[in-house]
Structure 1
Amino acid sequence: MLALKAENISKQYRLGQVGTGTLSHDLNRFWHKVRGKEDPYLKIGEANDRSSKGVSEYVWSLRDIDFEIEQGDAVGIIGRNGAGKSTLLKLLSKVTKPTTGKIYTQGRIASLLEVGTGFHPEMTGRENVFLNGAILGMTRKEITRKFDEIVDFSGVERYIDTPVKRYSSGMYVRLAFAVAAHLESEILIVDEVLAVGDAEFQKKCLGKMGDVSKGEGRTVLFVSHNITAVKELCNSALLLEKGLLINQGDVNKCIIEYQKNNEVKFFYDYSDDRVKLENEKILVKSFKTEPINGDMINIKSGILVTVSFMSKMEDVDIDLSFLLKNSHDLTVMSTGLMLSNNKDSQKGDYTVTFEIPPYTLNEDSYYFDFFWGVNRSDIAIRTSIFGFEVHGMQNQFGEIIKSPGVLFPKITHNVDYQKM
């Protein structure tokens, strides 16, 4: 049974304006409408790319989005900042209307889009629970039945009769989430607001959303940049990029695609790249990965990682460390290497190679956090944009082969130095 369905929804904004902007634009739209013609401003506008200035004053925050969500699904909505995630949630929550397209929903929707959504600052926490519940379409009897459970979950019992304007942002979000999660709506929509809470409360919220979805059969839509949380909670995902839906379905595939599109470079050469990774101490010249065995990186090939950089310093100690993370932002490996130990480093070019043994990594996308340390304390440069992809392999029965993994794999290093 469908809980949500979006058909060709788009949302257009005019930069610097509220609504459609000017009376002349509204009259032009009306004139086209009475003549049975299409809105003329739907033919113009640019994708929502914040990194470029653009030439049009119209921007498509979302464009031609289609998807269906089954009842009881937990769906993660992922993408970079500005991809259109929050706009999509506002459309689904009926906070704003789509410019084009239709949205069909089955049942009541409880949404938590901003800290303290639907709260009145002059009213107490108790009064706001009843107010927010009424806004969500609940009867007073329903709210009363759930009230003690809401207050207990929020952890703000001592302040429940205090005006919420005196609450911290963490207390706000605790009470707001407790109301939205416990009242009996069929669809729960949660934006990134959980980032306001502490780690213990975030874990508690994720557990509650899991119960709502798996135990109570309600539908959850969850926006977060915490890829690990999305992986744990959701069974499917929507991946947005510049207002377009570029992938949907299996949560693991969407996460891998997101990581690949998140400016991760699988090969880098500063001489032909428009972005140079450097500061006053280090210039990264190149990065590449290649299989040790065979012509494709897979779980049995092993991986040779080569990093070339130029040091602009001398008579200091330099060390290079890295963390290897998977597409779920989990660290799977780390290592370090002292390039000089007696403050005897020289200016010049260094090439460092790492060998990752075969049968260490599973099929996934991986990326590095590199740390160049100076005199054991000053971080010269840190970057998270280098990575590689490990391809899967199948056995004779068509099953994906899993790597046994190595808890402490032996990583071999090699350093080549060329004086400047």
Structure 2
Amino acid sequence: MSYAIKIEGLGKRYLLSHQQKARYHSLRDTITERAQHAAQAVRRLMGGMGSDTDPAREEFWALKDFDLQIEQGERLAIVGRNGAGKSTLLKLLSRVTEPTCGRARLRGRMASLLEVGTGFHPELTGRENIYLNGAILGMGRPEIDRKFDEIVAFADVEKFLDTPVKRYSSGMYTRLAFSVAAHLETDILIIDEVLAVGDAAFQRKCLGKMDDVGREGRTLLFVSHNMAAVETLCNRAVLLAGGRLVDVGETRRIVEAYSETWRKAVDLNDRHDRSGTGRARIESIVMEADSGEQTFRIASMESVSFIVTVSMTAEAVGKKVDLILIVCDGRDNRIIPLYTEWAQSDLEVSGELHRFRCRVPGGLPLVSDTYWLTAAVLIGGVNADKLDRALEFEVVPSQSFADGLVLNPAFGQVLVENIWE
């Protein structure tokens, strides 16, 4: 099979400017500094004489030494933490920015959706922007005419078609931009975090359309933090970290490797944002699967335990202790409370160090997403120690419920078994 994209030694370097400590500048200081900068530039041009080190400027490689071959018809996910270089890679492939070194060869026509409203003119109407954006992406007018009704129907903006897009919401912008890009008959489609904007119905349509693109044999490059969507849509994945290619391979394995980059146990001793009387201190929180193995990735509705280690002061000995664990989503919405008092568990402080286990036999009935755990210890009914975002973990799809489906958090986050007849 011939390649669709071949990347060799691709890199992008930026020079970061750092503001020096503010001080009063006279005209003489300004002239002297300008003369020094000019002299340094001349020395560099003359063959690198003199130091090129400038304390006010720093080299930053957003992407470096990147090599990859993407086959035609492949559906490739690009995953990594914020700042890993994902968007930089897509901008280089889309010719939005020039590389500092290396090259990327693309075979076939390409369409990309990197940001909301890219290629749109705010003063033009939705109708006019369809033609403008389509032309920018390489569509001829006859092709746009042929696809026009499909584009409008998919974007669901028919009522506002002759309204300037500057009056559109971000969701309407995204729907229209995605619709134009997705309906262009390209060989390569590049999508960057399109699922982050828009309502639930739109996100579902996006997933369906991208799945269609892959089934048609076209090449898809997809960047998303929604790992369930990544595993459903893509047959191969790339892991980026610090601007470098870390790993490439089968999607599920790469998703697991990606999880390892952020699911390290947090050292709570470094946290100074605690609140409470100080009679107790949360030392650590770990999550365990039924096998007893420590994990940061659990399937929905799969039995799980949280182990909380707490140190107590002498004043707390003999008093009633309560623990609260609250599962929160990425927007800090409180979803599931795990509270000793609600579970009618009577616990008492008998020493300086305690290890508490909270077992959830039925598991967490949550859709696939990343979640946080907020923890608090109460001594005698008074908050002794509280930590927000004390543990980060991931919930993945359950094999016993909605197997193989992407359960979008926009529809809701709590799962209950339901039977329709």
Q: Which residue of 2 aligns with 1:280?
A: 275
Structure 1 residues 277 and 226, CA, compared in 2 at 3 Å: closer, same or farther?
A: farther
Whole-Å Cα distance in 2 between the matches of residues 257 and 189 of structure 1?
Answer: 23
Structure 1 residues 29 and 97, CA, compared in 2 at 3 Å: closer, same or farther?
A: farther
Structure 1 residues 294 and 262, CA, compared in 2 at 3 Å: closer, same or farther?
A: closer
- Please state whether the residue corresponding to 1:64 is helix, strand or coil: strand
Whole-Å Cα distance in 1 between the matches of residues 284 and 219 of structure 2?
Answer: 46
Counterpart pick for 1:372 among 370, 375, 399: 375
Structure 1 residues 367 and 176, CA, compared in 2 at 3 Å: closer, same or farther?
A: closer
Whole-Å Cα distance in 1 between the matches of residues 39 and 99 of structure 2?
Answer: 21
Q: Which residue of 1 aligns with 2:225?
A: 225
TM-score by length of structure 2 reads 0.69
Question: Is 1:116 matched with 2:120?
Answer: no
Amino acid at match of 2:82: N
Once the two structures are superposed, residues 240-278 of structure 1 have per-residue CA deviations (whole angstroms, 9 ceiling, x without a partner) of 11111101111111111111111521xx665xx6x2376
Q: Which residue of 2 aligns with 1:140?
A: 141
Q: How does 1:156-305 map to 2 (within 5 A)?
A: 156-214=157-215, 216-265=216-265, 275-276=270-271, 279-281=274-276, 283-287=281-285
Shift of 1:91: 0.2
Q: Which residue of 2 aligns with 1:352?
A: 356
Amino acid at match of 1:279: R
The answer to whether the 8 Å contact 2:77/2:223 transfers is: yes
Whole-Å Cα distance in 1 between the matches of residues 382 and 185 of structure 2?
Answer: 55
Q: Which residue of 1 aligns with 2:80?
A: 79
The answer to whether the 8 Å contact 1:77/1:221 transfers is: yes
Shift of 1:345: 7.4
Shift of 1:371: 3.6
Whole-Å Cα distance in 2 between the matches of residues 12 and 280 of structure 1?
Answer: 42
- Please state whether the residue corresponding to 2:248 is helix, strand or coil: strand
The answer to whether the 8 Å contact 1:269/1:287 transfers is: no
Amino acid at match of 1:147: F
Shift of 1:165: 1.0
Whole-Å Cα distance in 2 between the matches of residues 119 and 223 of structure 1?
Answer: 22
Whole-Å Cα distance in 2 between the matches of residues 376 and 110 of structure 1?
Answer: 58
Whole-Å Cα distance in 2 between the matches of residues 382 and 263 of structure 1?
Answer: 16
| Identity in percent | 43
Structure 1 residues 404 and 218, CA, compared in 2 at 3 Å: closer, same or farther?
A: closer
- Please state whether the residue corresponding to 1:57 is helix, strand or coil: strand
Shift of 1:336: 3.3
Structure 1 window deviating more from structure 2 (54-63 vs 165-174): it is 54-63
Amino acid at match of 2:197: V
The answer to whether the 8 Å contact 1:321/1:336 transfers is: yes
Shift of 1:70: 1.1
Unaligned runs of 5+ in 2: 19-36, 330-335, 364-368, 402-421
Whole-Å Cα distance in 2 between the matches of residues 403 and 110 of structure 1?
Answer: 35
Question: Is 1:107 matched with 2:108?
Answer: yes
In the comparison of the two structures, how many residue pairs are matched?
349
Q: Which residue of 2 aligns with 1:381?
A: 387
The answer to whether the 8 Å contact 1:74/1:234 transfers is: yes
Q: How does 1:333-352 map to 2 (within 5 A)?
A: 336-338=338-340, 349-352=353-356
Q: How does 1:11-22 map to 2 (within 5 A)?
A: 11-16=12-17
Once the two structures are superposed, residues 88-140 of structure 1 have per-residue CA deviations (whole angstroms, 9 ceiling, x without a partner) of 10001011111110101011111111110001111111111111111111111
Once the two structures are superposed, residues 296-328 of structure 1 have per-residue CA deviations (whole angstroms, 9 ceiling, x without a partner) of 99x9xx998642024799889733336699xxx
Shift of 1:286: 2.8
Once the two structures are superposed, residues 22-69 of structure 1 have per-residue CA deviations (whole angstroms, 9 ceiling, x without a partner) of 88888777766xxxx9xx98xx99xxxxxxxx9961100011011111
Shift of 1:80: 0.8
The answer to whether the 8 Å contact 1:289/1:303 transfers is: yes
- Please state whether the residue corresponding to 1:175 is helix, strand or coil: helix
Whole-Å Cα distance in 2 between the matches of residues 220 and 82 of structure 1?
Answer: 22
Amino acid at match of 1:383: R
The answer to whether the 8 Å contact 1:304/1:356 transfers is: yes
Whole-Å Cα distance in 2 between the matches of residues 203 and 26 of structure 1?
Answer: 54
Structure 1 residues 404 and 201, CA, compared in 2 at 3 Å: closer, same or farther?
A: closer
Shift of 1:290: 8.0
Once the two structures are superposed, residues 171-222 of structure 1 have per-residue CA deviations (whole angstroms, 9 ceiling, x without a partner) of 00100000000011111111124312112211110110010111x1111111
Shift of 1:385: 3.8
Structure 1 residues 355 and 343, CA, compared in 2 at 3 Å: closer, same or farther?
A: closer
Structure 1 residues 316 and 173, CA, compared in 2 at 3 Å: closer, same or farther?
A: farther
